[in-house]
Structure 1
Amino acid sequence: MGVLVDVVDYDATVARVIAAAEQRRPFILTALAVHGLMTGVSDRRHNARLNAFDMVVPDGQPVRWALNLLHEARLREWVSGPELTLRVLRRAAEQQLPVYLYGSTARTVGRLVTTLTRTVPALRIAGAEPSRFRDAEPGEYARIAKRIDASGARLVLVGLGCPRQESFVHAMRPLLAMPLLAVGAAFDYHAGLLSYAPRWMQRGGLAWLWRLVLEPRRLWRRYLVLGPRYLVRLSAQKVGLWEPSVPAPSHRPVEPAPV
């Protein structure tokens, strides 16, 4: 639908992230479910930013189905943000690569640090910083990058919610020679604030329904409005009634930028 999503599995994704961390080079990744994908479809400038990412992984069964339906990708699994986070952190611990956590609230980040320390004992957390929930001030991105760099981190996990987190890591890419992963609700899941949908619901593409039941007031528009739009566009593209344009990648910084 005009957003460039990589045909990858967990192993390939983790390998590329860890390689970038070891080689100390810029690398940005996001895990896009239907909501994240539709933010690109509905906003051409954001679409161009997404297409500038080093990797966009298919998060959720509906995105995996779409890749298989439209492009015969033959993907056997999707790449869940929370699960990807855990696998990356385990590999980072094995390779002794310190990690920086950025985003969410101070309460969530505090709980996340506690949980990760228990779950991945060998993990080195170089620093943790909550979101400010506002637009960045002049020069603030450079100051954040300096703090992250000074911490000794080799990898950054970002949990700001979609599309703020994608805008953040896109703007930070020129400032940090390390991977930045936009992992969305992974912070809340691993902090114990969200519960996973049953596996049968995930496999049936119904994880969205689980989230909607848990947070109806916050998520009703995401799932009851964007979901049908996704299906309509997907169907139209499949039968040839609509052909999306693919915006060229844009490396221009986001204005106003979220922090």
Structure 2
Amino acid sequence: MKKKIITSHISQGSLESHLPAILKLAKDRTPSYCCFTNVHMLIEAYDDPAFNTVVNEATYAFPDGAPVAKMFQKLYNIEQERIAGMDFLPFFIEKCDQHALNIAFVGSTDSVLEKIKVKIASEYKNITITALISPPFGKPWDNEAYIEIINAAKTNVVFVGLGCPKQEKWMYEHSAKINAILFGLGGAFPVYVDEIKRAPSWMRNNSLEWLYRLLMEPKRMFKRYYYTNTKFLRLASTQIKNK
């Protein structure tokens, strides 16, 4: 079940409640894709109707950001947990090991992907990594070749780390041809291998993870956060007022 937040349809329910269906999609190698929706993605979707379609047609669009999760209470009187991509990646890799699933990674750098390979090999016995794909920067991507590699190896799960909105558009455009469930996880790859530090738990628990990223990368993130956060507050307030 999904609920409308701004213009996007966001999945309701705990991760545990969705887990059996997600694992079935993975085991059956059913073409499907999942978004992890934060304020930035909601505003991208509001500003771009075509991208809103990408989010709304996702098999799951989990409430990644705490402000998104809190909107369930304000609009629908529903207590909704945050399902963050940063947390989901290590959690679901463990589930993949428990169920002996084949996994692939698309995105990030060769260096980060190699660290992921080493980490998983050292910590898990039942996972097979079928592909580590770092698409070239500034050059055309051979998506058909990527899809062939993923499918030929009977991949169950593809973790996609291309950043928003690129990864969601990539999944939307190609998921029908990929016999696996795809998860768009933004910057989770380098965090998973400790190449980038995540915000401390007290900031995450108080909806301040965005502030941590702003402090770490002020030049790159200021304009984005100023625009998206301000616009989200205005649109969210209007939706709450008119509910």
TM-score by length of 2: 0.92
Secondary structure at the residue paired with 1:133?
Answer: coil
Secondary structure at the residue paired with 1:161?
Answer: coil
2:57 matched to 1:55? Answer: no
Aligned to 2:238: 236
**Residue pairs, 1:1-259, within 5 angstroms:** 1-75=6-80, 77-134=81-138, 136=140, 140-240=142-242
C-alpha deviation, 1:121, in angstroms = 4.4
Secondary structure at the residue paired with 2:10?
Answer: coil
* Runs of 5+ unmatched residues, structure 2: 1-5
Q: Percent same amino acid at aligned positions? A: 23
**Matches of 1:40 and 1:105, distance apart in 2:** 27
Secondary structure at the residue paired with 1:219?
Answer: helix
User: What code does the residue aligned with 1:96 have?
Assistant: A
TM-score by length of 1: 0.86
Secondary structure at the residue paired with 1:196?
Answer: coil
User: What code does the residue aligned with 1:191 have?
Assistant: V
RMSD, aligned α-carbons: 1.7
1:19-60 C-alpha deviation (Å, 9 max, x unpaired): 101122111101111111211011111101211111000002
Structure with bigger strand share is 2
Taking structure 1 as reference, are residues 12 and 120 closer, same or farther at Cα in structure 2, changes over 3 Å only?
farther
Matched pairs, number: 238
In terms of mean alpha carbon deviation, does 112-121 or 80-89 score higher? 112-121
1:168-210 C-alpha deviation (Å, 9 max, x unpaired): 1111111012101101111121021221212111111111001
Q: CA contact under 8 A between 1:93 and 1:123: conserved in structure 2?
A: yes
Structure number with higher relative contact order (C-alpha < 8 Å, ≥ 6 residues apart): 1
C-alpha deviation, 1:166, in angstroms = 0.1
Taking structure 1 as reference, are residues 197 and 119 closer, same or farther at Cα in structure 2, changes over 3 Å only?
farther
C-alpha deviation, 1:9, in angstroms = 1.8
Taking structure 1 as reference, are residues 25 and 223 closer, same or farther at Cα in structure 2, changes over 3 Å only?
same
Taking structure 1 as reference, are residues 34 and 119 closer, same or farther at Cα in structure 2, changes over 3 Å only?
farther
Secondary structure at the residue paired with 1:56?
Answer: strand
Q: CA contact under 8 A between 1:14 and 1:88: conserved in structure 2?
A: no
